Amino acid sequence: MKIICAGLQKTGTKSIAEALRILGYNVHDVYEQFFYEKELWDKILNNKVTTEDYQQSLEDVDAVMDWPAVAVWEQIMEAFPDAKVILTIRSSEDEWYESVKNQYEVGNQYAPKSELLMKIYQLLVGSVFRRFEKQTSVFLIACLGVQRFYGTPIEAFLRSRYRQHNLYVKSTCPSNKLLIYNVKDGWEPLCNFLNQEIPDKPFPRKNIKANMTHKLLANKWEHDCGLMEDLHRRFKIFLGTLVFLIIAIISYVGMRYFEN
């Protein structure tokens, strides 16, 4: 482990993830962590994790960011004391909260409109996606104090959490291995901090206005490790099975009708 990105969600985590990939690092963002370190996160949720668990699970990973890692950034730092820490921030708290609100608005476009629809949806999408949603809610609570990125954001709670988190990272992480970083500043401060040459390409801008959500649900987000492809496949199997059953029932009723 070389880099721990300790910034909260909506602070440019997808942009810095792509920037670190361009610099040649093995990056584990949300989906890589979910699929490749699932035993580690299960141990955390069951209060059975040790420093050795972090070291064994993440030894071949260069950089982590977003949830689940940001919820336990300090424990990861203790397991890898030589790792550098990057606290991504926005230009202002207002800018960060506007980004969070926009994420909620996009999430509301796709969220089920009732608890019954949510339960039906969870039944259809399969165990992998249900597990992903469960972990999302738990780790979002740890990071932001909210269960999900749809519904109605509670502004006072979110703003308070943003302040508390940033102040805690700044006061806890040794200053000689901490970079407080705004992705708008581009390559120079990041590369200087990591002792890397500046790439001959523009700094990446990802998830602008929460467009990752649209890409993800259209199965066009390149870093979801096949999660949406699996969901779409399961949904097609369900629809095919449903159509088959409907045809079979109609055929049976029709045969019985003509027999009589």
The better pLDDT of the pair 34, 85 is held by 85
92 assigned to some structural domain: yes
- Tell me the CATH number at 75: 3.40.50.300
The DSSP output letter for 72 is: G
For the whole model, what pTM was predicted?
Answer: 0.81
- Domain hosting 69: range is 3-225
Residue 73 token pair:
């950034």
176 assigned to some structural domain: yes
Q: Which residue has the tokens 């954001």?
A: 153
144: closest CA among 162, 131, 129? Answer: 162
258 assigned to some structural domain: no
Q: Per residue in 99-115, pLDDT tens?
A: 999 888 888 887 766 55
Q: Per residue in 202-220, pLDDT tens?
A: 999 887 776 767 776 676 7
Q: Which residue has the tokens 């921030």?
A: 89
46 assigned to some structural domain: yes
231 assigned to some structural domain: no
**180 by DSSP, 3-state: which?**
strand
Residue 257 in this model has a pLDDT that exceeds 90: no
250 assigned to some structural domain: no
> Which DSSP string do the residues of 83-105 spell out, in sequence order?
-EEEEE--SSHHHHHHHHHHHHH
Q: Which residue has the tokens 């993830």?
A: 17
10: closest CA among 188, 213, 200, 192? Answer: 213
Cα distances (Å, whole numbers) of residue 37 to 30, 43, 52, 64, 122? 10, 10, 14, 11, 23
Cα distances (Å, whole numbers) of residue 101 to 10, 31, 151, 171, 207? 10, 23, 10, 28, 14
CA distance 109 to 89: 27
Number of folded domains in the chain? 1
256 assigned to some structural domain: no
Say what the pLDDT of residue 195 is: 95
Residue 147 in this model has a pLDDT that exceeds 80: no
Q: Per residue in 8-61, pLDDT tens?
A: 999 999 999 999 999 999 999 988 988 888 889 889 888 999 999 999 999 999
177 assigned to some structural domain: yes
CA distance 178 to 83: 10
CA distance 229 to 207: 20
